[in-house]
Amino acid sequence: MKIIRFFLGVIILCISVNGFSQTLGPESQISLITCGPGGELYSSFGHTAIRVRDPEMKMDWVYNYGIFDFNTPNFYTKFTLGKLKYMLGVNRYSSFVNYYRQVNRSVTEQVLNLSLRERRKLFAILDENARPENRYYLYDFRFDNCATKPRDVLEKALGNRLAYYVSNQHKTFRNLLDECLEKDVPWGDFEIDLVLGSVIDRQATPREYMFLPEYLKQAVASASLKTGEEEDPLVLSVNEVFVAKQTPRPAYIQWTSPLTVFSLLFLLIAGLTAWEWKTGKWIKGVDRAFFGVLGLLGSLMLFLWLCTNHSGTAENYNVLWASPAHLLAIFFISKLRFSTLMQAHFAFWGVAAIFCMAGSALLPQQFHAAFYPLMLTVAVRSVWVVVALRNRKNVHINQTVRA
């Protein structure tokens, strides 16, 4: 509900920009605004906006990319398919800052060292982009988001004068996302690693780092404006508008992390499997539940890969251990007429899970640490199902969970 209230509030604050023909005066300033991360998944990456201030015109606006309209027809369908258009909104600076104060997220302003001509050119680009016919764009979290759009506007306005001085730290897009999530939003990190494919394991270029607001802030801080042989810093001054109050990290996060939870799940199921092996009893409801969930997850991943416009969900090798095929297999576990087929199914996917664990270095995708106990659970239960099916005459299927 917080994200809904946020975007509705921003939309209400948006100012109509139809017909603007104003020109900035000599006292005007243009700044890059960087907002710190919040506690929710959607806010974990921070936010970027551009402030345009002109005391003579009594103008103090924030150009804010990354807004979407909940009244869009077929909103949820378009969002799921990656076809939802985001928009550039313009709202008052005071209202913008007040919101981030209320949610305790830091706000930093970098006043840009631009000439009047450059400020007017940049403002003209923003004004043009904010018009109703131009304000909408197709969002992509790596290449078209709230940080890359301001970067692109700066580059368009400044051209060859703008020079970045950033070192390539040899990080992939996944590494960069992990920096924002692993510590404070571990389950969000797990979910993102589950649905995003190997395409985000490509090493990002220094310019591509700027899809994250903090890296754009760092790049702008070190950038310069070239005039012949001379260089001037891009940033004229830095204002810490609001510094978030530090809140203690809840101790339970470590003990409820995905790695801890799924390691305990593996130990529980491994113990149950050992008991079944010893007693000759097969509680097939465990396999129906476990492989059913994996099948649903695999179906979701395959859908996001093949049926949507989300560029980051392609080529997802997690389907090697969370296969959509499990949805079919769970209905035929222990059925005599499908015994041979099911043995082949679980033998294949058990080997696939083992390959993912042992040969992860050979795959182009980095797996989340919590996936390994899940893969091990897949392997253990697959072996047990094959054994149970081969020795079905000697294995008693628990009647309380039998379909």
Domain limits of the chain? 2-17+26-168+205-242, 257-401
Collapse the DSSP code of 242 into the 3-class scheme (helix H, G, I; strand E, B; otherwise coil) and give the result: strand
Q: What is the pLDDT of residue 41?
A: 83
Q: What is the pLDDT of residue 307?
A: 95
Residue type (1 letter), 7: F
Nearest to 389 by CA among 350, 326, 347: 347
Q: Return d(Cα 95, Cα 361) in angstroms, integer.
A: 49
Helices (H), 141-257: 148-158, 173-181, 186-195, 213-222, 252-255
Helices (H), 280-370: 284-306, 326-329, 339-358
Q: What is the pLDDT of residue 394?
A: 63
Collapse the DSSP code of 178 into the 3-class scheme (helix H, G, I; strand E, B; otherwise coil) and give the result: helix
Burial of 231 (0-12, 13-18, 19+ CB in 10 A): middle
CA 373 to each of CA 96, 183, 253, 349, 369: distance values in angstroms, whole numbers, following the listed order: 44, 20, 19, 15, 8
Nearest to 381 by CA among 297, 285, 260: 285
The rounded percent of the chain whose pLDDT value lies above 70 is 89
Report, as an integer, the average pLDDT of 63-76.
81
Whether 256 contacts 308, CB under 8 Å: no
Q: What is the pLDDT of residue 115?
A: 95
Q: Which of 70-79, 90-99, 172-181, 212-221 has the lowest mean pLDDT?
A: 70-79
Give the Cβ contact number of residue 173 at 10 Å. Answer: 21
Report, as an integer, the average pLDDT of 347-375.
95
Q: How confident is the model at residue 68 (pLDDT cuts 50, 70, 90)?
A: confident
**Mean of all residue pLDDT scores within the chain:** 89
Report, as an integer, the average pLDDT of 322-346.
85
Q: How confident is the model at residue 13 (pLDDT cuts 50, 70, 90)?
A: very low
Whether 94 contacts 15, CB under 8 Å: no
Give per-residue pLDDT as tens, 197-212.
Answer: 999 999 999 999 999 9
Nearest to 328 by CA among 311, 345, 309, 308: 345
Write the CB contacts of 169 (distance below 8 Å, at least 6 apart in sequence): none
Q: Which of 22-36, 147-161, 330-344 has the lowest mean pLDDT?
A: 330-344
Give the CATH number of domain 2-17+26-168+205-242: 3.90.1720
Report, as an integer, the average pLDDT of 285-307.
96
Nearest to 270 by CA among 148, 365, 359, 383: 383
The two structure tokens encoding residue 227: 């005039």
Q: What is the pLDDT of residue 336?
A: 63
Does the pLDDT at position 399 exceed 50?
no
Q: Which of 17-26, 121-130, 165-174, 213-222 has the lowest mean pLDDT?
A: 17-26
Q: Highest-confidence range of 163-167, 185-189, 195-199, by mean pLDDT?
A: 195-199
Any bridge partners for residue 354, and if so which? none
Report, as an integer, the average pLDDT of 94-98.
96
Q: What is the pLDDT of residue 253?
A: 65
**What is the pTM assigned to this prediction?**
0.87
Q: What is the pLDDT of residue 77?
A: 80
The two structure tokens encoding residue 56: 């003579």
Q: What is the pLDDT of residue 328?
A: 86
Does the pLDDT at position 375 exceed 60?
yes
Does the pLDDT at position 268 exceed 70?
yes
Q: Which of 25-34, 177-186, 289-298, 388-397 has the lowest mean pLDDT?
A: 388-397
Whether 244 contacts 36, CB under 8 Å: yes
Distance of alpha carbon 208 from the chain centroid: 15
Collapse the DSSP code of 62 into the 3-class scheme (helix H, G, I; strand E, B; otherwise coil) and give the result: strand
Does the pLDDT at position 5 exceed 50?
no
Q: How confident is the model at residue 397 (pLDDT cuts 50, 70, 90)?
A: low
Does the pLDDT at position 17 exceed 70?
no
Residue 144 DSSP one-character state: B
Does the pLDDT at position 11 exceed 80?
no
Q: How confident is the model at residue 229 (pLDDT cuts 50, 70, 90)?
A: confident
Q: Could you identify the residue written with the tokens 């801890």?
A: 260
